[in-house]
Amino acid sequence: MMGTKTMEGLVGARTNMNMTKVPLRVFKDARRRGDTATMERAMGYVNEFSDKAKEYKEEASEGMKEDEKEAKEREKAAREEAVDRLKEESEELEERIEDDKKDSGELLTISQEGKVLCENAIKQKTDDSEGGRPAVGKENVIYTKTGEADQIQKGSEISVLV
């Protein structure tokens, strides 16, 4: 982003350099005619516009240095903010990992009443199906730690780690 001081300096320098073209043309014309008074007056204007262009050039240089300094400060602030954000995210992740470690040791056991309810549900499904066999696609399945399906056997105990 260009600052106002830089823009003002560049525009002023270009304008003053363009303004030297007219007095130079007058100088060349007066030289051809041999009019020294007009030549001196025209060169005075050329020098004046040239000096102003140099001043604006210096102003533009100062503005560019200030712009560069501000850009570096903004970049540094953005880097620091990104580092802080990453630290916060890593701390949150570590907290979640710690919570998961704490929660992973919990064991779920099914009470005797739950086992009876489960067996009754299995019996009810087999009674409702044709021929006393379980309905297709309605088999009771348990999934292992690796994600493989395994049949539930009557009277077996189930333990669940969450």
Structure tokens at 27: 């100088």
Confirm if 3 and 66 have CB atoms less than 8 A apart: yes
Structure tokens at 21: 């073209």
Instruction: State the maximum Cα–Cα separation within the chain, in Å, rounded to a whole number.
Output: 128
Confirm if 135 and 122 have CB atoms less than 8 A apart: no
- The verdict on pTM exceeding 0.75 is no
pLDDT tens for the chain, residues 1 to 162: 678 888 999 999 999 999 999 999 999 999 999 999 999 999 999 999 999 999 999 999 999 999 999 999 999 999 999 999 999 999 999 888 887 777 665 566 778 888 888 888 888 776 655 555 545 555 667 777 787 777 766 666 666 665
